[in-house]
Amino acid sequence: MNRKWKHHAEAYLYISPSVILTVALGIYPILWALRYMFYDYKGYGEATFVGLYNFRRLFRDEYLWDAIWNTFVFAGGKMLLTLPVALLLAVILNGKLKGRNLLRGIYFMPTIFSTAVMAVVFYIIFNTYNGLLNQLLKLAGLPTLEWLGTEYAMLTCILIAAWGGIGNYMLLFLAGLQGIPKDVYESAELDGATGARRFWSITIPMLGPVLNIIMMLAIMSALESYEAIMVLTGGGPSGATEVMHLYLYKLLFPVSTGESMAQDIGYGSAVAMLLALIVGAITGIYLYLSRKLNDVHS
């Protein structure tokens, strides 16, 4: 009995730093938000209980729903651009190829740099007046674009997100591809299957489970990213690139972005809860649909 107790005590001692940090910085904030979403709390003074007021406000907040819509556009655009390119690169690099490691190193490189730092660099590149990209376009005799204007700002944000994401997903796809046994391809080749046929009939189905995990990661990270946009456009011009988590940031820490909004923690808590639910629901629906699709195939 005594020995068992010592065994447990040791285990608790070892996990305690991790558990204390997880509770304090992970679980406590969730409980905190669950409380404050029912309060009117501006970050100073007393918090007053307002019941479901913050939730009623959610539905009236058109700016929030615009931001949610922008997030879908951003996430959809980023995934449409990133995933096919990343998969194609992975499939090519999975074969025998000269300079394979060097190319892999180059494609992955953008992912090692800070999103915020790169957003500063991209600001200088995409700036409409004297931006480096427009300078290059001028030198080449091509028309210039207002990359950060209302019309193209979202496209620019998507391009930048794809720039930072392609290498990461390429590597994840490569990991999945390496799990497919080589002899499957060899026998298909003997049977005369072409490259495209091999891709659709072997690569995609056999990538299945890994593909699901990658898609889930891609959905979650695309819906939750805002750092690059915050530094690049701050959500502007006139809300064109306002994504939902950036809006949440402004509700909670308005000072740092020079926003004229007032800090609103009670409402921010309700917004955070809604956003977590949206991301959870979308990944849940995706998993459900993909499982159904898998059932059809097998």
Partner 1 sequence: MKRMTGRLLMWAFLLTAAALLLLPIGLAVLGSLKTNQELTAGTAILPQAWQFDNYGYTWKEAKFSVYVWNSVIYSVGATLTTLAVCALAAYAAARKTFPGRKLMLAVYSAMMFIHMGVLTLKPAYQLMVELGLHKSVFGLIIMMTGAGGTTFFILYAFIRGISRDLDEAAMIDGAGSFYIFSRIILPLCTPALGVVALFAFRGAWNNYILPLVFTMSQPDLQPLTVGLANIRYGFGGAVQSHLMLAGACISMIPMLLIYVLANKSFVQMNVGALKG
Please list every residue from 47 through 106 that binds partner 1, using CB under 8 A.
Answer: 85, 88-89, 92, 103-106
The nearest distance, CB 260 to partner 1, in angstroms, is: 16
Residues of span 110-129 touching partner 1 by CB under 8 A: 110, 112-125
List, in order, residues 6 or more apart from 219 with CB less than 8 Å away: 75, 79, 279, 282, 283, 286
Q: Which is nearer to partner 1, 157 or 279 (CB)?
A: 279
Q: Which of residues 28-47 bind partner 1 (CB under 8 A)?
A: 28-30, 32-33
User: Which CB atom, from 119 or from 157, has the smaller least distance to partner 1?
Assistant: 119
Per CB under 8 A, 269 contacts partner 1: yes
CB of 296 to partner 1, least distance (A): 25
Determine the 3-state secondary structure of 48 from DSSP: strand
Identity of the residue, 75 or 214, whose beta carbon is nearer to partner 1 in the bound complex = 214
Site for partner 1 in 145-174 (CB under 8 A): 163, 166-168, 171-172, 174
Of 100, 21, 32, nearest in space to 270 by CA:
32
**CB of 77 or CB of 268, closer to partner 1:** 268
Interacting residue with partner 1 among 224, 237, 259, 286 (CB under 8 A): 224
Structure-derived torsion over alpha carbons of residues 152, 77, 70, 30, reported in degrees to the nearest 10? -140
Task: Give the x-and-dash track for 180-219 against partner 1 (CB under 8 A).
Answer: ---------------x--------------x--xx-----
Nearer to partner 1, 79 or 211 (CB): 211
For residue 256, give the nearest of 269, 246, 268 by alpha carbon.
Answer: 246
Q: Which is nearer to partner 1, 154 or 274 (CB)?
A: 274
Instruction: Tell me whether residue 80 or residue 92 sits nearer to partner 1 (CB atom).
Output: 92
Among 38, 39, 74, 107, binds partner 1 (CB under 8 A): 107
d(CA 283, CA 277): 10
Q: Which stretch binds partner 1 (CB under 8 A): 51-59, 60-68, 147-155, 246-254?
A: 246-254
Q: Which amino acid is at 216?
A: M
CA dihedral 101, 105, 107, 108 (to 10 degrees): 130
Burial class (CB in 10 A: 0-12, 13-18, 19+), 216: middle
**Which tokens sit at 203?**
């690569």
Rounded CA gap, 133 and 122, in Å?
A: 9
Binding mask 1-20 toward partner 1 (x if CB under 8 A, else -) reads ------xx-xxx-xx-xxx-
Distance, in Å, from the CA atom of 80 to the CA atom of 165, rounded to the nearest integer, reads 12
Smallest distance from partner 1 to CB 229, Å: 12
Task: Based on the shown chain and the rule CB under 8 A, indicate whether residue 26 belongs to the binding site for partner 1.
Answer: yes
**# residues contacting partner 1 (CB under 8 A):** 89
- Looking at the Cβ atoms of 188 and 278, the one nearer to partner 1 is 278
> d(Cα 240, Cα 153) in Å, to the nearest integer?
7
CB count within 10 Å of CB 241 equals 28
- Under the binding rule (CB under 8 A), the answer on residue 265 touching partner 1 is yes
Using a 10 angstrom Cβ sphere, with 0-12 exposed, 13-18 middle and 19 or more buried, the burial of residue 107 is buried
- CA atoms of 240 and 151, how far apart (whole Å): 8
